[in-house]
Structure 1
Amino acid sequence: MNIAIIGCGTMGMAYAGNLAAMPGVKVTGVVDINAGRAEKAAAVSGAKAYTDVDTLLQQEELETVAICLPTYLHKPFVLKLAEKGLHIICEKPAALTLEDALEMKAACEKHGVRLFIGHVVRFFPNYANAYRQAHSGVIGTAKMAHFKRYGSYPKGMDGWYSNHDQSGGVILDLMIHDIDFACWLFGEVESVFASVIKREEPEMEYAQVTLRFKSSAIANLTGYWGYPGPFTTQFEIAGDQGIIRFDSNQVQSLDIKLAAGPSGEQAAVQIPSSPSLHDPYYDEVQHFIKCIQDGSEPRVSAADACYAVEIALAAERSARTGQPVIMGGNAS
């Protein structure tokens, strides 16, 4: 499969390295308005470097394009590439508004191409294992969860992260990982309540979101830009028979603690993460490419990605008004 990469920043470089190592895939072109970044990605991937998309499309025979651009640029490029009949792998979030995300989805359907949005957390072994364990009944019926995601305030990349109109802020850009996972785990959301704290100097944005699901499950989510420590992810998923816990700073496997059995003894089972030769970003893109090749359904659908945007924007609205937001149906 011939594939190109548009955007050669942090994620574009990750795609360049992974795609270069992927059997049956050839990176034929990489594009960035910064020639130095394009040349760097070209050196990693073995592709030709370009500084504009139109020249790439004129000179290369492509089947798929990976969009690793800032969020505010997703929609115009998805629409342009869909019209050209190209399949699209686009970094998350899909777009800054639900209307734009749905328009992107509809355009790809109209032109008969696939649209995949990179909600990569579903491909992280510990999260994927937690999803399977929670649905296996090992902790009974999963009813509550808490997800945390902490990182330094994103710098560089032309300053677009600090512009809320371009990045969407900590909820839409960072917490959306856990929003998507929580919806994958528990289903449709009934209501959203959120609060955000922001500081200009030094820059910090901290968000707390509570999701109440139609299944009666509840998830509390924390997202933090400006955290002074190492990048950290944590979660707890509680059922009526036990709890699944993960802390990226402490363990490399799931800690599943079950309720006491008939003997009164506590059971603690360590479930190691699945062995993997590649990182989750590799597995995610390889999965999307396989879906293109065999027509199978992806682990993350375009509708899932639109729904994550809808819930994230509801959280933004709740944080602005101080009131909970009652949700309607799933995005379609």
Structure 2
Amino acid sequence: MRVAVLGCGTMGWVHARSYAKLKEVQLVGVCDVEKEEADKLAAACGTTAYERFEELLDEVCPDVVSICLPTPLHCKYTVMAAEAGVHVICEKPVSSTAKEAEIMDVVCRSNQVRLLIAHVGRFFPAYADVAHQVTTGIIGKPGVAHARRIGPHPGLLKNWYNDERESGGVIMDLMIHDIDYMRSVLGEVLTVYAQRRTLTHLDYAWVTLKFEQGAIANLEGMWGYPGPFQTAMEFAGDQGVIRAYSDETNTVIIRQSGLSTERQSMEGSDVTRKHEPLLLRKSPELQSAYDRELSHFIECIQSGSQPDVTFHDACMAFKIARAAIESAHTGKLVNVMEYEEKGGFPG
């Protein structure tokens, strides 16, 4: 299948590099309004760069497009792709409002194209394994779960993350991974209660979910953590506990901050050596979670089969995240099933 990538930021690079490795697709173009960014990605992946999405659609006629744009642009470009008869793989969250999500769904259905929302969390091997073990009863009936997802503030690289009206903050953009994952394992969410603290380049949230079958999950999310990106999860049941912590399963762990200087004496003279911070992929994989996710979505488009993450799943993750944002602003418990969105993200 002929695929294209719209948006050449961090996630655009991830999608394009995955497509470049997949045998079942041909990456026919990348597009970004910042042409230099598109040129860099195109050069890295051996494809063509475009500045206008309309031009890409006309010239290369893709079968599928990955939309890796800021959340407020998801609806506009999903509609544009669908009306051109192009299947859509859109980065999470699905949109900025429930109304936009509905429009995306209706337009894609009316044009008979697939709309798949990229919640990659379920495609990480540790998460898939833990989900399988919990749902098959290895730890008995789950009662309490915990998840943590913390890392640097993305607003240091892309300014739109700093505007909550666009990004939805740490709950909507980062914690939504764990919201979707916990719902996939524990079922429908009954209530949500959230606390949140925000400062310049710091966004911390603690969200408690109560599920219809009685389990409780506590989720911790943080933008602005002064260290490497980390995830953790734990499920406790009446017959055992299972957990997966990213910082305990890394193949290589290197901790070094700043620029250090070492002075050594060589043949009677002082030699100064500067050591740059070393960045290293910590757990090398033959196939990344993004490779697995995009390969799965392409297969679903080709076969017409149901994806592991449905559009309904994506909308429910959005609704729960939106209810958590509301709870954090009001300080009140929110009943998810009764919650109706009052507008876009709060400003």
Give the TM-score, by structure 2 length.
0.86
User: How far apart, CA to CA, are the structure 2 residues paired with 1:204 and 1:159?
Assistant: 14
Alignment of 1:3-22 (within 5 A): 3-22=3-22
2:184 corresponding residue in structure 1:
184
Q: How does 1:99-114 map to 2 (within 5 A)?
A: 99-114=99-114
Q: Decide whether aligned partners of structure 1 residues 12 and 103 sit closer, same or farther in structure 2, where only a CA change above 3 A counts.
A: same
Partner secondary structure for residue 47 of structure 1: coil
Distance of 1:102 and 1:321 partners within structure 2: 26
Quick one: percent identity of the two aligned structures?
Answer: 46
**In the alignment, structure 1 residue 29 sits paired with structure 2 residue 38:** no
- 1:64–1:157 distance in 2 versus 1, CA, 3 Å: farther
Q: Distance in 2 between matches of 1:330 and 1:108?
A: 26
1:293 deviation in Å?
0.5
Matching residue of 1:225:
223
Cα deviations across residues 61-119 of structure 1 (Å, max 9, x unaligned)? 21100001111111100111111111000111111222222221222122111111110
* Aligned-partner SS, 2:332: coil
1:137-168 CA distances to partner (integer Å, 9 max, x unpaired)? Answer: 11111221000000111135541000111111
- Equivalent residue for 2:295? 286
Say yes or no: does 1:199 pair with 2:203: no
Distance 2:285 2:229 in 1: 21
1:4-45 Cα deviation digits (max 9, x unpaired): 100011111111111111102111111011111101111122
Are 2:47 and 1:38 aligned? no
Contact kept in structure 2, 1:139 and 1:243, CA below 8 Å: yes
Summarize deviations over 1:252-278 as a string: whole Å, max 9, x none: 59xxxxxxxxxxxxxxxxxxxxx9621
Matches of 1:215 and 1:241, distance apart in 2: 17
Q: Which residue of 1 aligns with 2:261?
A: none
Conservation of the 8 A alpha-carbon contact between 1:4 and 1:28: yes
Per the alignment, residue 267 of structure 2 pairs with: none
The residue type equivalent to 1:56 in the other structure is L
SS at match of 1:161: helix
Separation of aligned partners in 1, 2:232 and 2:204: 15
SS in 1 for 2:247: coil
3-state secondary structure, aligned to 2:214: coil
Q: In the alignment, which residue of structure 1 is the partner of 2:91?
A: 91
Secondary structure of 1:297's match?
coil
The residue aligned with 1:145 is 145
Residue 317 of structure 2, aligned match among 298, 308, 316: 308
Secondary structure of 2:134's partner?
A: helix
Q: Distance in 1 between matches of 2:38 and 2:156?
A: 16
Give the corresponding residue for 1:248: 246
1:277 aligned residue (275, 279, 286): 286
1:188 touches 1:330 (CA, 8 Å); kept in 2?
Answer: no
In structure 2, the residue matched to 1:270 is none
Instruction: State the secondary structure of the residue aligned to 1:143.
Output: strand
Report the residue type matching 2:185 in the other structure.
L
Deviation at 1:187, TM superposition (A): 1.1
Q: Could you say which residue in structure 2 is the equivalent of 1:173?
A: 173
Whether the 8 Å contact between 2:8 and 2:38 is mirrored in structure 1 is yes
Q: Which residue of 1 is the match for residue 265 of structure 2?
A: none
The 10-residue stretch of structure 1 (172-181 or 88-97) with the greater mean CA deviation from structure 2:
88-97
Is the CA contact 1:198–1:204 (under 8 Å) kept in the aligned structure 2? yes
**Residue 249 of structure 1: SS of its match in structure 2?**
helix
**Equivalent residue for 2:307, pick from 289, 294, 298:** 298
Q: Is the 8 A contact 2:323 2:339 kept in 1?
A: no
Q: Distance in 2 between the 1:152 and 1:26 partners?
A: 33
Change (3 A) 1:87 1:111: same
Per the TM alignment, residue 217 of structure 1 is displaced from its structure 2 partner at its CA by 1.1
For residues 166 and 293 of structure 1, the distance between their equivalents in structure 2, rounded to whole angstroms, comes to: 33
* Superposition RMSD in Å: 1.7
- Return the index of the structure with the highest Cα Rg: 2
Residues 319 and 336 in structure 2, CA contact (< 8 A), matched pair in contact too: no
Counterpart amino acid of 1:27? L
Measure, in 2, the Cα distance between the counterparts of 1:77 and 1:300. Answer: 21
Please give the TM-score of this superposition, normalised by the length of structure 1: 0.90
Instruction: State the alpha-carbon separation in 2 of the partners of residues 13 and 118 from structure 1.
Output: 14
Letter in 1 for 2:229: F
Amino acid at match of 2:330: T
1:278–1:330 CA distance, 2 compared to 1 (3 A) = farther
Contact 2:82–2:108 (Cα < 8 Å) also in 1 = yes
Measure the CA separation in 1 of the matches of 2:12 and 2:230.
Answer: 22
Structure 2 equivalent of residue 318 of structure 1: 327
Gaps of 5+ in 2: 252-283, 341-347
Report the number of matched residues.
308
Distance 2:285 2:205 in 1: 32
- Distance in 2 (CA, whole Å) between partners of 1:252 and 1:241 is 28
Structure 1: gaps (5+ residues): 254-274
